[in-house]
Amino acid sequence: MNTTWPTTATTSLQQTIYRLGTLYSVYRLTLAVSLVLIFVLTAEHNTLNYPHSSLYFDGLVTFIVVSLAQLLLLKFFTKFISEQLFAIFLVDILFLSTLTFALGGPSLSISLLFVIMVFSANFLLKKNEALIVTLVSVIAVIYQQFVGSFFDASNLNNISNSALLAFLFFIVYGIGQISIQRFRVLETINSLQSLELLQLQNINRYILEQIELGYLVLDENYRIVVSNPAACSLIGIAPLYAYAHEQYSLIKFQKELYDLLQNKSLEEGQRFEFKSSQSHYTVDIRVQKLIVPHQALTLLTLEDSQKINQKVQQLKLASLGQLSASIAHEIRNPLAAIAQANELSLDAEPEQRLMLNQMIDKQSHRINHIIQQTLDMAKNKKTCMSDIHLDVFFKDLFNNDLNDVKNQIALSLPKPFVIRFDDSQLRQVLINLIRNALHHNAPDADFIQILVHAEAQHLYIDVIDFGEGIARQNLAQLFQPFFTTEINGTGLGLYLSQSICEANQAKLIYIEQKQKGACFRIECLLKT
């Protein structure tokens, strides 16, 4: 695809040169008409300024006719543009040379017109053609004065002026070539950037056309800036208006949605449902504010509510299937042990029977523990978030819930931070993490650490032990339900703790330590 860029850039440059050439032709015609008007109005009172007035006037009239013809030809015959422009400059040289001779030699005004013509040639013609125009201009200025000196000795005074003007032409040519090179480089870069932007726009448009989610962008006056086909279908707008270059007022095409939005204070993250008589869909709408310079835009993400419910049900069924399979797998081992112990107890001695009964009782408690944790997880107890002052919270946690091990915990709480969390659920998570850390702590370690620290708007609670840590091959399954490396573990503690944190808009993650030990981090928003 990149191989087409130079061709595209060249085409764009040619179009620019054509537009500039047309403007220059208009300038020539306007200049000639203006000079004729000035001559007609001032010739009677300033005969000394026009030594060859007849030649001056005839030259202007002839130039008007030729310029008009060249302008029409350039406008309506868009072939051989380069050749037409070259002919235009040759005519200009002849015209300006005639004016110079008719006025008795180079003057400031004619010199300025020559300079403009030479400079314009550098922009509109190829390098060699621009050089030819410059050289012909030099020859025309100098030699017409040289020839004129044979007929009028006073023209000798103008030869030096003509030489100076010719030297100026070469300077203008050099400046013009430098300028045109820079101009062409900038034009090429601009063309390439425009092409890349167009390609990105086409890619974005294709993506928006293919996705099932509807996207509707509105400005502050509820005009539709962007809408993809899915959005049009969901709210009942004809596809004709998708990707329109003009902005359409929402009230004209979907008044019900307009009225609903008018009555709501649209805030970031807001979500609501919309049902319209123009569409058979019930639409779930999410609001997002877009940060765009000099414009306040609102992005509405639209989705069919029925499809959302179907996805939720599918996820629930998938989770239920995974949970059922995991429960069956976990209960199978204790049940097998109970069955075997029961079979052995039939012919066992009293002492062996007592031992087997204890085994049955232990495995029954294990099954009950698995079922109880599963039920706690499935109950999905409603979260009641409140302001928690951590200095007060930890003091109560250690005294009432962890009194037996509080001497083995080193707490670092530099400030009395406040967070939003469900008190009982935070207590449940920390009890689980702290007792796990104590269980896996190194035998020679006197304590575990709880480090509380803040960064920007986030607060971190790290529970750190100094044991062997988590094996790298187990990290991917660490928070999976029923995954455990302990013989008597159920594998639901970390999974349940992570679910609780997510319900409180927080995270529970594992932080790998450089040395021995494990660190589980609770990350939540800091209340300011």
Q: Are 341 and 461 within one domain?
A: no
Task: Check residue 88 and give its pLDDT.
Answer: 87
Q: What does the pLDDT read at residue 91?
A: 87
Residue type, 526: L
**Are residues 135 and 57 located together in one domain of the fold?**
yes
Residue 203 lies in a domain: no
135/262 same-domain check: no
| For the ranges 401-405, 496-500, 522-526, the one whose mean pLDDT is highest | 522-526
- Structural domains counted in the chain: 4
Instruction: List the domain range (segments joined by +) for residue 262.
Output: 212-304
> Of 120, 112, 95, which is closest to residue 21 (Cα–Cα)?
120
Give the pLDDT score at 34: 85
Determine the average pLDDT of the residues in 65-91. Answer: 86
Counting Cβ atoms within 10 Å, is residue 416 exposed (0-12), middle (13-18) or buried (19+)?
Answer: exposed
Same domain assignment for residues 337 and 451: no
Mean model confidence pLDDT for the chain:
78
Give DSSP secondary structure letters for 354-402.
HHHHHHHHHHHHHHHHHHHHHHHHHH-PPP--EEEEHHHHHHHHHHHTS
The pLDDT assigned to 149 comes to 47
pLDDT on residue 468: 85
pLDDT at 243: 45
Answer yes or no: is pLDDT of 90 > 50: yes
Residue 14 and residue 94 in one domain: yes
Residue 317 binned pLDDT confidence (cut-offs 50, 70, 90): low
Model pLDDT for residues 209-267, shown as the tens digit of each residue: 788 888 888 888 888 888 888 888 888 887 654 444 455 788 888 888 888 888 887 78
**Residue 192 exposed, middle or buried by CB count within 10 Å (0-12, 13-18, 19+):** middle
pTM: 0.39
Q: How confident is the model at residue 452 (pLDDT cuts 50, 70, 90)?
A: very high
Q: What is the mean pLDDT of residues 455-478?
A: 84
515 pLDDT band, cuts 50/70/90, is confident
Determine, yes or no, domain membership for 207: no
Q: Is residue 6 scored above 80 in pLDDT?
A: no
Same domain, 33 and 173: yes
Residues 95 and 25 both lie in one domain: yes
The answer to the question of residue 199 being in a domain is: no
289 DSSP β-pair partners:
298
Q: Are residues 411 and 516 in the same domain?
A: yes
Give the range among 47-51, 258-262, 311-315, 434-438 with minimum mean pLDDT: 47-51
